Structure 1
Amino acid sequence: MKRTLPALLVCASLLVVAGPPAVAVAPSPVSRAVAEPVSYAVSGLVPGVPRETPGRAPARGTQRHIEYVPQSEVVHHGTRSVACSRSTGPYQRQTERYLRREVDGRQSVGDCRAIRRFQQAHRIVPASGFAGSVTGAMVRLMRAKKDPNRAGHCPDRRERTVCVDLNRQLLWVQQDGRVIFDPVAIRSGAPTMETRTGTYRIYLRHRRHISNLYHTPMPFAQFFDRGEALHAVYDDIYQGPGSHGCVNLTWTDAQKLWDLLKKQDIVYVWGRKPGV
């Protein structure tokens, strides 16, 4: 796929701007063929969840991840408590397995309570016990903590190697067979703007980069392939269709990665983002 140079230099998040203000409708995270859509509560409508301020890093420990929930369970402004979901989410089985519940793929009162505790511990809102795409992504991240390269997809080198797993939407850094930067969540390219796979080296670092075309901030930008970069975003890493090809990280993760990496470090990208 050919891209113009200006477009390559702009890899900030694509934001959904159409639709009603209270609910944004999205296709199911499991399959495009699923007829019933799921929705999510916008962050500004969930009690206790501040809106992100463009151009300003979120305060430490305040960022929340907005879960996709059924239309009937969308949390509305002013709700003081969140009811326990009776619905079975698309990532029910994966979550049951991780939480060591009976893996039957059916929501129960016990399942819901366990999932709610997991969501609360990882700042997922609404913590209703519905195992949606964000809960599933958090489960994948936690399962990867012990041994992210268990499948051996990322090459073991003596040099620092940034491993970008598009399949699981995860990133970590390893060297000499040892993980030196634990796996974190990422957001890669949106459909038609997928992050390119291959082996690259970081060739440019710009702490306060501003994209040329859209004048969008790209904090802690570390470019590795014709304009594609590792960089921070201000919004929730789990929301939106994706970037213009860059690898998006949370502000905190991008800052830590900036402190660790240098020019000429290797970036290895493989896989395919789910749903593209």
Structure 2
Amino acid sequence: MGTVTGMLAEARKSLGMSGRPNKITREYASRHGDEFLRASWCDMAVTYWARHSGNAGAVLLSGDRAYTVWHAEDFQRAGRWRKGSAAEVDRARPGDIVFFDWGASNSVDAIDHVGVVEKALGGGRLQTIEANTGDACRRRVRAANVIAGYGRPAYSEEDDMPLSSDDLKKIRDIVWNTDTAPAPAGSAEGNPTWRHINVLRDTYSSVQEIKAAVAQIAVRSPGVDETELARLVLAGLKPDSIAAAIPDEFAEQVASALGNRARG
């Protein structure tokens, strides 16, 4: 089975393609009839990208699709459908298949168009790659008001765990960078235990720095779910996880102090 990275790479190859018949409609028509040579080709493109990236099993749950309503219904039946509310749109992942209703009814039966999510931008907006938008394949930014919902393909495990141990270490090192941590006011600058406790406090109040670190990794690995990764990083900031994140000689003392602080 293919991957999110492969699906997006294949979609990006089509950027700039325009007019019809084209390579995508010709291939679809070769299997399903000449009436598709000049038909609307947004979902034909999703079919093409899935087939050429080894993702047919994940994206085309009932085989080739050119009709967007049926494709969305495939995801619904499989329990892999997310509604197009702003909150759900913000949780979309790269590689999700996003469906649009220009009438803003959010009804599956009213779906007009489809594309693939390249990136969630926040604020109920997505960056997408879409075919048959102005009869061409282009990047678009779409808002939740025209997003009926999206399907989540079952991509391979390679994308469920896209970060290597080296990637995680880079993030951990950023989060736990004690080399430049300022000593807290009124404390002894040479007290390493106090200094590490202060780093944790500062880390909690510097979530934006964590997000920036996550975003840097995500740029290199388009399949990364930034929200989930940030959650995992923050989940590691607990007393029982500190030993893996700071020098061993201070771990026990800091864990004890943090436990007391958390209980207080």
Q: What interval of TM-score do these two structures reach, taking the shorter chain for normalisation?
A: under 0.3
TM-score by length of structure 2 reads 0.24
Higher strand share: 1
Higher helix share: 2
Structure label with greater radius of gyration: 2
